[in-house]
Structure 1
Amino acid sequence: MRDETQILKDYLAGLNTGNRSALAQLAVLQDWSDIAQREIERRATFFLQKLPDEVIQAIASRDIDVRSVIGEVLIS
């Protein structure tokens, strides 16, 4: 079992103990991949809100490639 799966199981077990009805509501949802993608996009939007306007403008006009910059930071 992958670590991520165990992390999820541990979290859900806690939810099952504290709020079983919430866990039951989550069980009926089907497209978790799409839901997770929307959450990633929400977090990216939250991240952008923290940046100065000039950086956001540069990203919007494609003067800055965010993925490339992230890659540079990760290898440094």
Structure 2
Amino acid sequence: MFGIRTLVLGVDLLTLKPGDASARRVLRQAVLIHATDTAAALYAGKRGELPARAAMLTTIISAVNTGLAVVSLAAAEKS
């Protein structure tokens, strides 16, 4: 599930035009989805449901995506 949601969000973001009214909605969804992915990866790693290396990599990737989404949302709300 991690990949397909990221792909759908990416397509949404790539097709938005500057000043598009739906940009903030898409960015808010991105923050929520990536933060949830981060928490799920961390939780799965702590429970041993993922190998340690896979859990660490997935958590880091999702956390970076969350950070990027938060920064993008903050920038969009300033404009």
* TM-score between both structures, scaled by the size of structure 2: 0.30
Of structures 1 and 2, the larger Rg is shown by 1
Q: Which has the higher contact order (CA 8 A, sep 6+)?
A: 2
